[in-house]
Amino acid sequence: MRISKEKAAEHRRAIVEAAGRRFRGRGFDGVAVADVMKEAGFTHGGFYNHFDSKEALAAAACHDEIGRANLGLATELGRKGRPWERYRDQYLSAEHRDDPAHGCPVSALAADVARQPRTVQASFAAGVAAVLDTLAAHFARSSRDPRRRALREYSEMIGALILSRAVADADPALADEILAASRV
Amino acid sequence: MRISKEKAAEHRRAIVEAAGRRFRGRGFDGVAVADVMKEAGFTHGGFYNHFDSKEALAAAACHDEIGRANLGLATELGRKGRPWERYRDQYLSAEHRDDPAHGCPVSALAADVARQPRTVQASFAAGVAAVLDTLAAHFARSSRDPRRRALREYSEMIGALILSRAVADADPALADEILAASRV
DNA sequence: TGTACATCAGTGAACGCGCGTTCACTGATGTAC
DNA sequence: TGTACATCAGTGAACGCGCGTTCACTGATGTAC
């Protein structure tokens, strides 16, 4: 049955959100279009009324997810105290490590993205560039080379989370140690 | 036709090596057993004479690859000058970034491993633990907290390479900037 | 040392399953008059 | 404003393809006597 334009747009949004969660949790190739549609509350056949392909969905999900993450980072960095240190320490928590589906899309998908089609890479890269700009702007007051500091600190944070996730099941002590080393 | 035990062992080694290259280049799920066997010079049917499953191959490949990488790192760190800085700067080169199939298995597979079966995770985690021990031992003379320094520097290096690879096709300038920031 | 038989690495066809995508169909929405 | 028709979001079956794994078969190797 046909659906109102408002409803349809709402459904599209629900699909992108479901995709964002699934992709972060299991990677692009670990998630079927039917999974996403089911999580969003639909059957799989209608997917192609909203997107040309799974690739287009991945690109849309990257755009939305990283955009939201960047907004969240900017908001946090606007607070008083040592906001970056707080943000980073929460990022490097066991909770974040153990729940990638609700965590940062950059650490969850960075490695996957390198093997995805160009449109997905473009969407992801634009998001990462924006995040790094946000971070560099924050360091502008406190650092002599804010841009470089942003890049290095971000790389370390991403790397620590990815490494910790890789060894978490087999060697929990090492996983915790990796996170702790990059905190504070 | 039956093959001599020596030949069979040699073939097994060839299969693991081919798998190592393929997995690093395309990830575990991006590589078919038939691909690996073809690269090793065989047809796919004989695979199960050597391994119980693709999972077992992945575990074997992780073990061998990271073992070799650790040996290479230890050798480099034994040289004169500033061996760690040299190693890291080569690790963070555009050449390494653009040729993952012949590069470090840790950065190539860390994110994938988190979604692989336990046996693969165990093999990977043991390798990473050994690498971190090697690095911490190297810092023992020069650092007050060599263990922590090893963990942080390794995280940064891994994170920078993974991030750089993620944006390399879409934003080459940013990709180079990410690597450069963590060098020297 | 020579012979007969069992073993098993490698081959290539086949099986079963999951996945991306397509398609015919339904019926409420949107539009033309 | 009311009516007739076209549109299109959603459904669920189906298609085609790739992949992990199995299997019957081959024939050289390894072994028992």
To the nearest 10 degrees (0 to 180), the angle between helices A105-113 and B146-167 is: 60
- Contact residues, B window 117-146, toward A, CB-based 8 Å cutoff: 118, 121-122, 124-126, 128-129, 132
A31/C18 CA-to-C1' distance in Å: 11
Q: Specify the amino acid at residue A35.
A: D
Cα separation of A158 and A156, whole Å? 6
Provide the pLDDT for residue B148.
Answer: 98
> B49: Cβ under 7 Å from strand D?
no
Sign (positive or negative) of CA dihedral A168, A172, A174, A177: positive
Provide the pLDDT for residue A119.
Answer: 98
B152 inside 8 A of chain A by CB: yes
Tracing tokens 């693991």 back to the chain, one arrives at B16
**Tokens in use for B152?**
């942080």
Q: B10 φ, ψ to 5°?
A: -65, -45
Residue among B156, B112, B147, B141 at smallest CA distance from B129: B147
B43/C11 CA-to-C1' distance in Å: 7
B20/D24 CA-to-C1' distance in Å: 31
Cα separation of B19 and B36, whole Å? 5
Q: Could you tell me if residue B81 is left (phi over 0), alpha (psi between -120 and 50 degrees) or otherwise beta?
A: left
A44 pLDDT more than 80? yes
SS3 A178: helix
Q: Which of B22, B109, B115 to mutate to test the interface with A (most CBs of A within 10 A)?
A: B115
How confident is residue A2, by pLDDT bands cut at 50, 70 and 90?
A: confident
* Closest-approach residue (CA) in chain A for B116: A166
- Contact residues, B window 165-184, toward A, CB-based 8 Å cutoff: 165-171, 174, 177-178, 181-182
SS3 B117: coil
Residue among A33, A175, A22, A176 at smallest CA distance from A100: A22
Nearest nt to the CA of B41 via C1' is C10
A5 pLDDT more than 80? yes
B115 inside 8 A of chain A by CB: yes
Could you read off the pLDDT of A57-66 as tens digits, one per residue?
Answer: 999 999 999 9
Cα separation of A123 and A102, whole Å? 20
Cα-based torsion angle of the residue sequence B168, A66, A136, A114 in order, rounded to the nearest 10 degrees: -10
B32/D17 CA-to-C1' distance in Å: 14
Provide the pLDDT for residue A68.
Answer: 98
What does chain A come to in residues? Answer: 184
Contact check, Cβ <8 Å, B166/A110: yes
Neighbours of A146 (CB within 10 A): 16
- Is the CB of residue B40 less than 8 Å from the CB of residue B11? yes
Cα separation of B38 and B15, whole Å? 9
- Is the CB of residue B129 less than 8 Å from the CB of residue B152? no
Cα separation of B173 and B184, whole Å? 18
SS3 A143: coil
Contacting residues for B134 by C-beta, under 8 A, at least 6 apart: B70, B73, B74, B77
- Is the CB of residue B109 less than 8 Å from the CB of residue B23? yes
- State the distance between the two ends of chain A, measured CA to CA, in whole angstroms: 55
Contacting residues for B42 by C-beta, under 8 A, at least 6 apart: B11, B15
The rounded radius of gyration (Å) of the Cα atoms in chain B is 18
- Is the CB of residue B29 less than 8 Å from the CB of residue B64? no
Provide the pLDDT for residue A184.
Answer: 82
User: How far B87 CA sits from the closest chain A CA (Å)?
Assistant: 17
Which secondary structure element, helix H or strand E, spans residue B120, and what is its range?
A: helix B118-139
Could you read off the pLDDT of A125-172 as tens digits, one per residue?
Answer: 999 999 999 999 999 999 999 999 999 999 999 999 999 999 999 999
**Tokens in use for A147?**
């841009």
Q: Which stretches of chain B drop beneath a pLDDT of 50? A: none
Provide the pLDDT for residue A1.
Answer: 74
User: How far B47 CA sits from the closest chain A CA (Å)?
Assistant: 24
Work out the angle at residue A182's Cα, subtended by the Cα atoms of residues A179 and A184, and round it to the nearest 5 degrees.
110
Provide the pLDDT for residue B1.
Answer: 73
Q: Which of B151, B153, B174 to mutate to test the interface with A (most CBs of A within 10 A)?
A: B151
> What is the pTM for the complete model shown?
0.96
H-type helices in chain A, by residue range? 5-26, 33-40, 54-77, 83-91, 94-98, 105-113, 118-139, 146-167, 172-181
A178 pLDDT more than 90? yes
Contacting residues for B72 by C-beta, under 8 A, at least 6 apart: none
To the nearest 10 degrees (0 to 180), the angle between helices B172-181 and B146-167 is: 170
